[in-house]
Amino acid sequence: MSNMEQPLLQVRNLGVNFRLEGGTLFEAVKNISFEVPKNSTVALVGESGSGKSVSAMAVMRLLPRESAIVSAASEILFEGSDLLKLSDEGIRAVRGKDVSVIFQEPMSSLNPVFTVGDQIAEILCLHMGLSRAQAWRRAEELMHEVGIPDPGLRIKSFPHELSGGQQQRVMIAIAIACNPKLLIADEPTTALDVTIQKQILDLLASLQARHKMSVLFITHDLAVVGEIADHVVVMQNGEIKEKASAKQIFETPRDPYTKALLSCRPNVDERPMRLPVIADFLQAGGAARLKLEQRRRGYRDDDEIVLEVKNLSKHFRLKEGLFKSRDVAAVKDASFKLARGKTLGLVGESGSGKTTVGLTLMRLHESSGGEVLFDGVDLLKLSEADFMKYKRRIQIVFQNPYASLNPRFTVGQILMEPLTIHRLAAGNRQCIEMAMALLERVGLPEESFHKYPHEFSGGQRQRIAIARCLTMKPDVLICDESVSALDVSVQAQVLNLLQDLQDEYRMSYIFISHDLAVVKYISDQVMVMSDGDVIEVANSDDIYLNPQQEYTRQLLGSIPRGWQGN
Amino acid sequence: MTSRRGAITWPENKKGNGVIAYIFRRLWQMIPTLAGVVLLIFFLFNWVGGDPALVLAGKITNPEQIANIRRQLGVDEPYWYQLWVFVKQIVTFDFGRSWATNEEVSHIFLTRLGPTLTIMLPVLVLETVIGVVLAIGVAYVNGTVTDRMIMMICTVAMSISFLVYIIVAQYLFGFRLGWFPVQGWSESYWRNVTTFAPLPIMLAVFVGLAPVLRLYRSFFLDEINHDYVRTARSKGLAEKIVMLKHVLRNALIPILTNIGIALPGIFIGSFLMETFFSIPGIGREILVAVNRSDFPVIKAATVYLAMITMFINLLVDVMYKVVDPRVTLK
Amino acid sequence: MSAVLTQPHPSRQRHSPGLWTLAWRRLKRDRVGMLCLVVVAFFLSLMVASYLGIVAGNWSNEVGISYANPLFLAGEENLEAAHMGSSASAAHIPVADLSAVDPLAPRYREWEERTARIQVTETPRAETLLLGGDKWGRDVLQKTIKGAETSIFVGLTAALLATIIGTGLGGLSGYMGGRIGDVLEWFYNVFTSIPYILLILSFAAVLRQGLDTIIFILACTGWTGIYRLVRSEYIKHASREYVKAAQAIGATHTRRMFVHILPNVSHVSLVQLSQHVVQFIKAEVILSFLGLGVPVDSVSWGTMLAEAQTELVIGKWWQLAAAGVSMAILVTAFSMLTDSLRDALDPKMK
């Protein structure tokens, strides 16, 4: 840190406990200290449960009154005065005026029954003493500043009438309306598509420069941090692992956790055989980067084709008005081939139709046309009874680990269910043995058999879901955004597991994701989709180095590059 | 979780050109439901209800006279014919005459409507207003001892039968203290409102307040946990404004739904009070009809109230659009 | 991802607690809830004892004097009993000779002598009873217990039936959707278009009076709330990923409905059952009060309240108090138990 003047925000010895049901206390933040200098961007990085959001909310005293306890030794000094010691009135004067916040989910953070103009004007009337008419005029100016097209028209809209990106821009407008000195951004782009994310990040950077305010940016994505932050604070389990300037963190990280966090995320430029995890760094001693063997990927001409899809289409019928109904084409005309033992990556933004392709293949949706050729048979034309025989051979792992396991079944029951349905085991004893063997294969302890899903973390639940699919020894496994909801380090572990299983069982994967870096890492061939259309299909290396279509280029250009060494 | 995060949704048609179509669609959908109600009532009264001729004939055992009564009532006709007659009656709003008093059924309803509404409309209004005010207050102090005590009192209050309240109130305020007449009704609207109506109204509001308070409190608490409340606080707004402006406005949505559900009930909900206080309202009339097996009255009441209920539901759904901008009428 | 509390370490036990065990543990920690459970259990055992005739078997016997005072008012005057007594003794006033107008008059004396000779064991009527007596001297305490049996029995049975109907139809409608769902929705709309009380009264008007009739009526009109809730639960769960996963691995419709989804919905049904018991007890009391409920030879809290209405004017308040208070205790306990059950099965921030 170069300037010696007093930092804008000083957090000292912050400790936050939560009261859980049954009276137990949970330590969310354990005695941390960090600073935010004037006119700079500090990134607070960590995975879920690290305490980063809790710390940020503590600054504004927005933690839930009933369950959160801030320790007495905590100090939060803003321009010298302790925010924790202010009266209710005092902190209200600071909120929205000197320090403001933008949240992760803009749709639920805006009041659904008031227009966006009202909500921006409200803060202007409160802190700046403007009249209603003046406030509305200023609100329109702000909406223009944050890049909302047609502000005169949009100012009268309700939040649900705007897209996610526009809603977040409205939140930003509210936040900067009174020229705050500090802006706290709590994962503002996590819920947005990658192209929109880039726009919002650029917007925040330009606003920061123009208004000379400081930004405390909370995120789990190190690539984003590399693009915008001056200083970085890395947290894990309520503690600070490392804090330094961005240059130091990215070029010479010291803590093993930081190193792991930096490396375990697939990089678009490399493809190691296995993604490194924290354990690898702890063993490697002080090395900042691990030298890893690279894996080559791509379809070859002599590959056996296990699944071929021709002209697959899926329409949804939406009722509209009294007699009309509208056809929405989720998938228009998709054709691709899947080679044995290889991975096909399906990539696109939300609404592109990639998930629909996966679900339609498995006949979880009824297709509107096309063929799915498996083992010489068109799966879409089979009757329900005939299809049962093939169900075992194509399986799917869903996105949400918290929703894909039946909360009332034990893990054992979850694993034995497919064995029972397809009669794959000769008796109860063998059933249990098979299930136990699979638990071990996916890296879960034996006791898991009798436990319920709620006792496991997200990554562990995905392993259980994978084990469930393995019970049937499928030829094809569809991974529908299976790692998207996981923390980066956990994601790496699950990706490694999937790769091990593919190497061992020669399963073919269809890997659906919006995350371009992950898709490039794990796929041999990549298919890019947008709005139901297939934009491009090519070997993964080729598509990233040499994209043929404009949309693909745009998509690749939006990926945060991370630290570029400025 | 596939939401259209990246797509742009332009604002929908703002003015009500979809509303008329919606109303017509709903009216069209009401027909099968109404048909179902008619069938149900017909089934109950013309089939299950047994031979009303025997009921009315009383002690007359002369089979000729019983057959005569049957003919008069029209129950000797085949079922499909009876159904046809019933449907005609509904469409022309003419249900014939009461079996007991021979008064025209439509006349019965028209004259009894007044007293019922004189009591029930003020009750509904007072309950809602007082309920909302108290509920906000209780939700504001959520988690404190006051909150728990008030909820406890509500639970106990709700467990005492309405009958006990009426009996005690009549005894205490009417008989003992003499503040209000124990029973009665008059022709003069003004006299009703000042003398005869207050005790029943206050009683109904007092008893009805406990469940309303519990319900509205839960609405407010649900809203308080939403993200937009955190945003409002982060703007620096005082807690009072957060509750009265942001939370209340959103809570109005379920409150409106609740009023919509309660509204059809006002026509019959007062039947106990009307019985106790001798108020000549619809509720009491129906109760008397049940005791006397006066089928035309009960049938008419049921069909009319079913229709009123459906119209009120439609009205509430259209009003929804005003209260909740997210709603698209489908 | 905003702050998600990390999962606690998987415990070392062999068998993990399932939903019901966890809920039971939570309920045990709730002292108020446990107290209510005890009270409800007490009433239930009272009901069973009464049904078996162990207690309150002789409730209809007129064991006390008319309007007998309860124990705590033992010394008070009982004008009514005195009045009744005097009218009984009025029979001994010598009758004037009416032989001119009454052809039977000469025979009265003969009959009187004959009746005096017949031995009738008349148990002396009690001056006071524990909770007092009603107009005919029946023991209020026994009536209260018997009334409890009636009301609780009706409430429980009707609630059980309504829950079964509502859950079954709701599950079918929510899961299958399509035509079946439409037909069931139509059915639901028909029943809910008619105001609840009116529906009950309509049924009561055409069916003959009786205990089974009330149960039938309450169950047939009260299933709609449960149907609505269970249906929306099934709709919610049917689109959840674990059900899609079950479909993907090859589970049939029936298997998905009963083996996979039902265990996730059953706690909703249980809470609804509990709520409806309360609702039906209150309804039965009102129906019996109006004379549309239990047959004339049985007793219910409702019939007691009906008698109490006129009794209050002459100052006899114990029947009102006994029925009112015992009902209040039971309904309060049951209501609070329902709340505790709901919190135990589905804990949320209050």
Residue pointed to by tokens 């409106």: B256
What's the pLDDT score for residue A35? 93
Tokens representing residue C299 in the block: 């007793």
Q: From the CA of B239, how many Å to the nearest CA of chain A?
A: 10
Preferred mutation among C9, C13, C241 to probe A, highest tally of A CBs within 10 A: C241
CA B7, B8, B12: angle at the middle one, nearest 5?
130
Q: From the CA of C187, how many Å to the nearest CA of chain B?
A: 8
Say whether pLDDT at B7 is over 80: no
SS3 content of chain A, % helix, strand, coil (to 5): 40, 25, 35
Tokens representing residue A322 in the block: 């009294």
Q: From the CA of C188, how many Å to the nearest CA of chain B?
A: 9
Asked if C241's CB is within 8 angstroms of A400's CB, the reply is yes
Hey, is the C-beta of A384 within 8 angstroms of any chain C C-beta?
no
Q: Is B329 left (phi over 0), alpha (psi -120 to 50) or beta?
A: beta
How many interface pairs between A and B have CB atoms less than 8 angstroms apart? 118
What's the pLDDT score for residue C123? 64
Q: Report d(CA C284, CA C216) in Å as an integer.
A: 12
Q: From the CA of A163, how many Å to the nearest CA of chain B?
A: 5
Binned at pLDDT 50, 70 and 90, residue B154 comes out as very high
Residues of C in contact with B264 (CB under 8 A): 195
Residues of A (490-509) whose Cβ lies below 8 Å from C = none
pLDDT-wise least confident of B225-239, C194-208, C326-340: C194-208
Instruction: Compare C102 and C207 and report the one with higher pLDDT.
Output: C207
Instruction: Compare C103 and C38 and report the one with higher pLDDT.
Output: C38
Torsion angle of alpha carbons B165, B166, B168, B169, nearest 10°? 100
What's the pLDDT score for residue B19? 78
What's the pLDDT score for residue A13? 93
Tokens representing residue C287 in the block: 């129906």
Asked if B161's CB is within 8 angstroms of C324's CB, the reply is yes
| Strand locations in C182-227 (E) | none
Contact between residue B127 and residue B120 where contact means Cβ atoms under 8 Å apart: no
Say whether pLDDT at C109 is over 90: no
Q: Which chains touch B (3 or more CB pairs under 8 A)?
A: A, C
Residues of A in contact with B250 (CB under 8 A): 111-113
Preferred mutation among A104, A160, A169 to probe B, highest tally of B CBs within 10 A: A160
| pLDDT tens column, B9-26 | 333 444 455 778 888 888
Successive 10-residue mean pLDDT values, chain A, 566 residues: 73 91 85 93 90 92 88 91 91 93 92 94 92 93 93 92 92 94 93 87 92 93 87 93 91 87 80 79 65 76 87 83 73 91 91 90 89 89 87 91 90 92 86 91 90 88 93 93 87 91 92 90 92 90 87 85 66
Q: Report d(CA C75, CA C84) in Å as an integer.
A: 18
Q: Report d(CA C309, CA B163) in Å as an integer.
A: 9
| pLDDT tens column, B223-278 | 998 999 999 999 999 999 999 999 999 999 999 988 988 888 888 878 888 888 88
| pLDDT tens column, B270-317 | 888 888 888 888 888 888 888 888 888 888 888 888 998 999 989 888
The domains located in chain B, with CATH, are: 1-100+325-330 (no CATH), 109-291 (1.10.3720.10)
Q: Report d(CA C40, CA C329) in Å as an integer.
A: 9
Residues of B in contact with C192 (CB under 8 A): 309
Pick from B156, B168, B305: CB nearest C194: B305
Say whether pLDDT at C350 is over 50: no
Binned at pLDDT 50, 70 and 90, residue C115 comes out as confident
Say whether pLDDT at C117 is over 60: yes
Say whether pLDDT at C264 is over 60: yes
What's the pLDDT score for residue C4? 35
Asked if B305's CB is within 8 angstroms of C301's CB, the reply is no
Asked if B168's CB is within 8 angstroms of C305's CB, the reply is no
Asked if C186's CB is within 8 angstroms of B309's CB, the reply is no
Residues of B in contact with C331 (CB under 8 A): 158-160
Residues of A (10-39) whose Cβ lies below 8 Å from C = 18, 21-22, 26, 28
Instruction: Compare A362 and C91 and report the one with higher pLDDT.
Output: A362
What's the pLDDT score for residue A41? 94
Q: Give the residue from A432, A142, B29 showing the smallest Cα distance to C182.
A: B29
Contact between residue A357 and residue A307 where contact means Cβ atoms under 8 Å apart: no
Q: Report d(CA B277, CA B165) in Å as an integer.
A: 13
Q: Give the residue from A109, A228, A101 showing the smallest Cα distance to A176.
A: A101
Q: From the CA of A183, how many Å to the nearest CA of chain C?
A: 17
Average of pLDDT values for C277-292?
91
Average of pLDDT values for C112-120?
72
Q: Report d(CA A427, CA A420) in Å as an integer.
A: 9
Asked if A192's CB is within 8 angstroms of B6's CB, the reply is yes
SS3 A307: strand
Q: From the CA of B153, how many Å to the nearest CA of chain A?
A: 23
| pLDDT tens column, B63-100 | 777 777 777 766 667 777 778 878 887 777 777 777 77
Q: Report d(CA B56, CA B293) in Å as an integer.
A: 8
Backbone angles phi, psi at A138, to 5 degrees: -65, -35
Spell out the residues 6+ positions from residue C167 whose beta carbon is closer than 8 angstroms to its own.
Answer: C226, C227, C230, C265, C269
Tokens representing residue B281 in the block: 């309202």
Contact between residue B113 and residue B198 where contact means Cβ atoms under 8 Å apart: no
What's the pLDDT score for residue C242? 93
Asked if A53's CB is within 8 angstroms of C250's CB, the reply is no
Hey, is the C-beta of B211 within 8 angstroms of any chain C C-beta?
no
Instruction: Compare C5 and A255 and report the one with higher pLDDT.
Output: A255
Chain A residue with minimal CA distance to C7? A457
Mean pLDDT of chain C: 81
Torsion angle of alpha carbons B102, B107, B110, B115, nearest 10°? -40
Asked if A321's CB is within 8 angstroms of B21's CB, the reply is yes
Q: From the CA of C25, how many Å to the nearest CA of chain A?
A: 10
Asked if A60's CB is within 8 angstroms of B6's CB, the reply is no
Asked if A158's CB is within 8 angstroms of B6's CB, the reply is no
Asked if C204's CB is within 8 angstroms of B290's CB, the reply is yes
Say whether pLDDT at C50 is over 60: yes
Mean pLDDT of chain B: 82
What's the pLDDT score for residue B136? 92
What's the pLDDT score for residue C326? 92
What's the pLDDT score for residue C99? 59
Pick from B34, B159, B301: CB nearest C198: B301
Say whether pLDDT at B8 is over 50: no
| For chain B, percent of residues with pLDDT exceeding 90 | 23
Chain C residue with minimal CA distance to A397? C245
What's the pLDDT score for residue A510? 95
What's the pLDDT score for residue C6? 36
Q: From the CA of C210, how many Å to the nearest CA of chain A?
A: 42
Q: Report d(CA A167, CA B228) in Å as an integer.
A: 13
| pLDDT tens column, A82-124 | 999 999 999 999 999 999 999 988 989 999 999 999 999 999 9
Asked if A48's CB is within 8 angstroms of C7's CB, the reply is no
Spell out the residues 6+ positions from residue A420 whose beta carbon is closer than 8 angstroms to its own.
Answer: A431
What's the pLDDT score for residue C1? 35
Residues of B in contact with C3 (CB under 8 A): none
Q: Report d(CA C340, CA C251) in Å as an integer.
A: 35
